[in-house]
Amino acid sequence: MSPRRALVAWGGWEGHTPERCAHIVRDILAGHEFEVKVANGTAAFLDPALSSLSLIVPIITMSEIAKEEVEALTGAVKSGVGLGGFHGQMCDSFRKETEYQFMTGGQWVSHPGNIIDYRVNIAKPDDPLVQGIGDFEYSSEQYYMHVDPAVEVLATTTFTGEHCDFVKGVVMPVVWKKRYGKGRVFYSSLGHTADEFAVPQMRSIVERGLLWAAR
């Protein structure tokens, strides 16, 4: 049986260490016997074989994408290709592209206080993507997002109001999964830089999520 194939596309703002993240994700997937292509930029979305892949992982922040590229990407996922990613590398990729945001299920809008300590609460402890992980403390950007109400939320965080008083008590999704057409979509807002893959809970959630999303 031929191996499942995945595309990891990286680019955009360097502050998110996209190339390092791409290589970590490549190694995670290779460890599960995926054949992985790593590409810089969005041109890889025009590959005629895109719709035959098992999984696409965008690791691109604050960038732009050509109309034909975003149409190819959303079309491939709608046809059944899995999509998975994390932080602004997937949910702050293309701010002008509403169909892309419709597909991913959310868009970053703020992170009050920048790098802070906060708590991640597991919302569905019986779900295989987060099972056995439990609530945990985290140090990173606490993402405030505009989120599709149709997503299935697996983990949340609560804003204390310390850094932005008018959002005190807001419970914000951190990890979710959803469908887009026939494709499975996974997202985690954790992972500001590649260094955060050293946190076992973050890495496990991403690894499980990508495997779940892949067909």
Give residue 16's pLDDT: 98
Give residue 2's pLDDT: 78
Q: What value does the mean pLDDT of the chain take?
A: 98
Instruction: Give which of 151, 147, 156 is closest to 122, Cα–Cα.
Output: 156
* Structure-token match 């959803």, residue found: 178
pTM above 0.95, yes or no: yes
Residue range(s) defining the domain that contains residue 169: 5-213
Q: What is the pLDDT of residues 30-52, one digit of tens each?
A: 999 999 999 999 999 999 999 99
Q: Any idea what the CATH number is for the domain that residue 139 is in? A: 3.40.50.880
Domain total in the chain: 1
> Which residues of the chain form beta strands (DSSP E)?
5-12, 35-40, 55-61, 82-86, 106-110, 115-122, 136-141, 144-147, 152-158, 171-180, 183-188
